[in-house]
Amino acid sequence: MADVVLVNPIIPSWYTEVLEVHPEKDWLKPPVGSPPLGLLYIAAYLVSRGYKVKVLDIMRKKIKKSEFIGFLEQEQPKIVGLVVFSEATVSVFEFCSSAKEWNPNVITVLGGPHVTFMDEETLQHEAVDIIVRGEGELSMAELADYFLQQRGSLNEIKGITYKMNTGKDVEIVRNPGRPYIKELDQLPFPLRTAIDMEEYPMPGTIITSRGCPGSCIFCAAGAISGGRYRTRGIDNVILEIEEMRRIFKIDYITVVDDTFTAFPERTRAFCHYYNKSNSGFAWGCESRVDDVSRELLTLMVESGCDAIQFGVESGVQSVLYSIRKNITVEQIEVAVRWAREAGIRFIACSFIIGHHSDTHDTVRQTLEFAKHLRDSYGVTPFFGMCTPYPGTYLYRNREKLGVTIYSKGWDTHQLIYSNISTKYLTRQDIQRWYYKASELFRDDIKKIENIRLRRSKHKSQSPNIIV
Ligand code: SF4
């Protein structure tokens, strides 16, 4: 029995649209290989407040509607919480409807990046009761207090938007926002024991900070975290890594922060701990080319780092300026060269095709630049298509920037599906360039995926406890 069931829903089109149209391109399937840390943070916080929680990661393990309803019948939760990314909205609505079909009195609560910005639109769906905007831990706990212990009142819970029945009609109420959690070290570690860690090809992920100091126009990282970048103490991060290694026998750690190297001093502290403790795990992270130095990259390699991913986005300076990436093409090349010379084994660079300022010519130049990075420095380039997600500058200013969004729903609103046209490129142009890029670097992407999977193998002792 559970007080709260938390669900990570499936993104249907990842498994249908692209694969049905291009079945030979099964390598385009995005890896859904890591635990849903956001949900596991909320699960941990609820458990610390005395609630019983179960987590259902349907992204990893598909289930039928009847099985979902059967699960709810068995657990009898009062609250069903779902995390919502734009492309999962359609399936989230189906899960909410199924939950209401099981029991019309169950409370459906949605959180995550999409609904943080599209709360009122999402609440138009009859099966959705409450939206949690921004960080979910405290709001979910207060919702559990209210619905399970009859403590407090809905209108006092910060950061939620909900429906209120006035007798005549249904009103949408938007409570004031919740301040962001300042002391991330006070949060309990994600409740990894609530899932079967053995099911994940990349189980060793960790979040050491929230937000990003960058202001790229296509990215919602800044808006989601209220424009603030907050970090955990390195001691606290290490404690979590030690716990993961002890319980799940994980020997590879992937830091999934947007930019792990944003504060080089902090990265150095992490490396020094590693060297002092002789910990022996290997690790990888995401970074920005303007956050690294030759000295830092060398220290990272000496401290077990064997993989780094730089968000590069374009190989053309005017495009980089137009998307406010605040880096130069020269910086990209220098950072990649330093990383190679430092001895980082896997260097990946992510690119986006179809920026509002991209033309056929700039995309062609970007592909040439990606080839140059691969041939000169062994970089693996990979690509996504420009997608104006809610919360981004690009989404808010799409008309001014000449961007048209096609799909009326959100399910095709994702990096592997062309959903926009720009002043210079049609929707089909963007899709064609994406396929061309994917074909061009097919073997490189495959190679890195295989390496990733091989090195992520672990002997999990996950007891599969569901709290
Ligand atoms: S794209 Fe990367 S650097 Fe830019 S705002 Fe988003 S997370 Fe930060």
Ligand 1 centroid to 54 CA: how many Å?
32
| Test site for ligand 1: of 258, 310, 319, 349, most ligand atoms within 8 A of the Cβ | 258
Query: What is the atom index within ligand 1 of the atom nearest the CA of 218?
Result: 1
Q: Which atom of ligand 1 is nearest to the CA of 311?
A: 2
Instruction: Fill in the amino acid letter for 188.
Output: P
Q: What percentage of the chain carries pLDDT values higher than 70?
A: 91
Q: Which range among 63-67, 95-99, 400-404, 461-465 shows the weakest confidence by mean pLDDT?
A: 461-465
How many angstroms separate the CA atoms of 162 and 160, rounded? 6
Q: Is 212 in the pocket of ligand 1 (CB under 6 A)?
A: yes
Pure H helices in 253-328? 264-277, 294-302, 317-322
Per the prediction, the chain carries an average pLDDT of: 89
Ligand 1 centroid – CA 219 distance (Å):
6
Considering the segment(s) 2-172 as one domain, its CATH architecture is: 3-Layer(aba) Sandwich (3.40)
Q: Is 316 in the pocket of ligand 1 (CB under 6 A)?
A: no
* Averaged pLDDT for residues 101-117: 96
Residue 6 — very low, low, confident or very high, per pLDDT cuts 50/70/90?
very high
Q: pLDDT, tens digit, for every residue of 180-221?
A: 999 999 999 999 999 999 888 889 999 999 988 889 999 998
CA of 208 to the centre of ligand 1 (A): 16
Q: List residues bridging with 347 in a β-sheet.
A: 308
Q: How far is the CA of 100 from the centre of ligand 1 (A)?
A: 37
* The pLDDT of residue 165: 86
Is it true that domain 200-454 has CATH number 3.20.20.70? yes
Say how many Å lie between the CA of residue 222 and the centre of ligand 1. Answer: 8
CA of 211 to the centre of ligand 1 (A): 9
Please indicate whether residue 54 or residue 278 has the higher confidence score (pLDDT).
Answer: 54
Provide the residue ranges of all domains of the chain, joining segments of one domain with +: 2-172, 200-454
- CB 23: neighbour CB atoms within 10 A? 8
384 lines ligand 1 (CB under 6 A): no
End-to-end CA gap in the chain: 9
Residue 391 CA to ligand 1 centre (angstroms): 13
Q: Which atom of ligand 1 is nearest to the CA of 288?
A: 3
288 CB within 6 A, ligand 1: yes
Tell me the per-residue pLDDT of 333-369, one tens digit each, with 9 for 90 and over.
999 999 999 999 999 999 999 999 999 999 999 999 9
pLDDT of 193 reads: 97
pLDDT, tens digit (0-9, with 9 covering 90-100), for 113-165: 999 999 999 999 999 999 999 999 999 999 999 999 999 999 999 999 999 98
222 C-beta closer than 6 A to ligand 1:
yes
Rounded Cα gap, residues 410 and 90, in angstroms = 7
